[in-house]
Chains A and B, each alone.
Chain A
Amino acid sequence: MPSLPPIRPEDEEVALKTRPGGAFDAPVDEEHRATLFEMLLRLGDDSLILGQRLGEWCGHAPSVEVDLSLANIALDLIGQATHFLNLAGEIEGRGRDGDALAFHRDVLDFRNCLLVEQPNGDFAQTMARQLLFSAWQKRLFDQLAASSDERVAAIAAKAVKEVAYHEELAAEWVIRLGDGTDESRARMADGLDWMWRFVPELFELDEAAADANGRGLWPDVDLLRTGYDARLQTVLAEATLDAPKPQRPILGGRRGHHSEHLGHLIAVMQFLPRTYPDAVW
C-alpha cells in the first residue's frame, strides 16, 4: 500500500499519550450495558406504541388535513422507535434487532409508559395524550441530547425537533378544543381526565432511572417536571381549562405491568411475524 501516508513522529507521540496502557479488550461494564439497554427499551417502546396508536387514525381523522398531521407524527415516532430499538439490540449484543424487539416480546417485556398505550378515544382524548406525552418527551430529549452515550445523544438531538413540533401541534388543538364549543370543551376535559393518572409515571424515579441518571444516561426527573408543569399550565390556561383534580398515580409500565389495552395492541401489531416466524417480509 505505497500510496498511504507515512506515520509521522508527531502522530506517534500522540498515540503514546492517548492510551494509558489500556488493553484492546477492555472489560465491558455489564451493569452499564444493562442500564443502557433498559433505558433504550423505554425510549423505543414509548415511541413505538404511540406511533402504533396514531397509525390507527389513518383514514378516519376529522379532516383530510388532520389525517396528514397525525400520520406525520406517527411516522416520526416509528422512526424514533426504529433508531432506539436497533441501538438497544446492538447494546444487548444477543443478535436481536429493532424488529425482533418490536415483534417478538410479550407484554411483560415491554417498557413503555402506560400513557402511550391508552386507546385513541375521540380526537380530544388523542390530543390530550399527545400533549401530555410530547411535552415530556420534548424536555427529556433536550436533556438526552447531552447524554453520556453519543449514540443516544445523536438520536435525541435529531428527534427533539420532531417532538417539539408534536408538542406545539397538540397544544394548538388542546387550546382550540378547550376554548371551542361546549361539546368540545367537555370532551377535552374528559380526555385530559382520562390521561391524567398516567402523568406521574413519566417522572417516576425508579431504580433503573436513578442508576441511569448516575451514569449520565438519564436526566434529573425533577428538573424535567418544573418545565413540564409550567408548560401545561400555560396551555390549559389558554384553553380556558382547569387541570384535572389530582388522581392516584397508576404506575407499572416501566416494569412490564401494563394496562389491558397493551395486550390487544401488540396482538395486532405482532400477528404476522408471530404467525409466520420463518418468513422474511
Chain B
Amino acid sequence: MSKDWPLWEVFVRSKGGMAHRHVGSVHAPDAEIALRHARDTYTRRMEGVSLWVVPSASIIASDPRDDAQMFDPAEDKIYRHPTFYNIPDDVKHI
C-alpha cells in the first residue's frame, strides 16, 4: 500500500493588517507543492492575501497537562490591566 505525503499546517492572512490564522492542514510532498495545495484548498473563495505553510512536525505545542503552571500564574497579575487603577473621572486623557 503506497504512502501518503507528509502533513503541513496552513495559515491564511485574510487581508492586509490581519495576522495569519490557522485554517487547517494539507498533505504535500514538499514546501512548494504544499503552498499550492493550500492555495487550492483554503483560498477558493478569496479567503486570503497571503499563505504560510509549516511542516506539522515542526510545531511545538504546549502540553495541556501543564496548563496550570503555564497559564494560571498570569491570573492574579491584575495590576497589568488598566482598570486596576482608580483615576478620578475629571482627570482626562489618561
Contact = CB atoms under 8 A, between A and B. Distances in A.
Given A69-B37, A72-B40, A63 B32 contact: no
A167 to B, nearest CB: 12
B36 A69 contact: yes
Given A169-B36, A172-B33, A68 B5 contact: no
Contact of B32 (A66, A69, A72, A172): A172
**Looking at chain A, what size class is its interface with the partner chain?**
under 10
B41 A65 contact: yes
A96 interface: no
Contact of B27 (A63, A69, A72, A172): A63
A215 interface: no
Interface string A172-204: 100010000000000000000000000000000
Nearest to B42: A68
A68 B4 CA distance: 16
Nearest to B29: A176
Contacts, number: 25
B40 A69 contact: yes
Contacts of B36: 69, 169, 172
B12 interface: no
A68 B32 contact: no
A135 to B, nearest CB: 17
A65 B40 contact: yes
B49 to A, nearest CB: 14
B51 interface: no
B44 interface: yes
A66 B4 CA distance: 13
A66 B37 CA distance: 7
A65 B37 contact: yes
Interface string B15-39: 0000000000011110011001100
17 contacts: A63-B4, A63-B5, A63-B27, A65-B37, A65-B40, A65-B41, A66-B37, A68-B37, A68-B40, A68-B41, A69-B37, A69-B40, A72-B44, A169-B36, A172-B32, A172-B36, A176-B33
Interface of B: 4-5, 26-29, 32-33, 36-37, 40-41, 44
Interface of A: 63, 65-66, 68-69, 72, 169, 172, 176
In the complex, the 10 A-B pairs of residues with the closest C-beta atoms, listed nearest first: A65-B37, A68-B40, A69-B40, A72-B40, A68-B41, A65-B26, A169-B36, A172-B32, A65-B27, A65-B41
